[in-house]
Amino acid sequence: MADSLAADASWESGWYRYARACASPNWGARPSGTAIDLLVLHSISLPPGEFGTDRVQQLFTNQLDWDAHPYFETIRDLQVSAHFYIQRSGELWQFVSCDARAWHAGASQFQGRDNCNDYSIGIELEGLEGGAFTAAQYETLQALTASMLQQYPIAAICGHEHVAPGRKSDPGSGFDWTLLQHALGLSDQYFPAFK
């Protein structure tokens, strides 16, 4: 019971109290009665390989200067968001209430269900597809995921590459799924994409 009360105190209307809130306009309502039971991990950096900027925050809030870097022309006018973003320092940002639908997975499918955005929570890790992530990022991700497991009926955890194979390859081979699984003490059933 104490764990349930602690989890409740960490969340308010889908917002996690330990994240830095930065509301995105890129979200929508989830379909009525939808269980939030999937966690999708991503990687992102803007431009690719450049860390420590505020450009991801700008992208998710539709404030990115499209002319600031040649790469941005390839994503011009993109309107996307994720629920969370974990910088390499471990700093945690939240852009959309977990009770709402963020625009992170795009065309996607998991275990025969389309439109993963409808029933998932999206977490972006600052990094490159296939690249390594920092200890601070894993620590933040573990704490966030542990709290989400108490707050939402999360039944599976996977990468963007697993819900949009052939179209996306993040977070990629540099992400340590075994480390995450062991740190959370979760059984293989939570990681069906690997078992």
Q: What residues are labeled active site?
A: 124
Q: Which residues contact 49 (CB under 8 A, 6 or more apart)?
A: 128
Joined tokens for residue 173: 């081979």
Within 10 Å of residue 12's Cβ, how many Cβ atoms? 10
Angstrom distance (rounded) from CA 118 to CA 98: 11
Residue 49, exposed/middle/buried by CB under 10 A (0-12, 13-18, 19+)?
exposed
Angstrom distance (rounded) from CA 43 to CA 192: 20
Joined tokens for residue 83: 């629920």
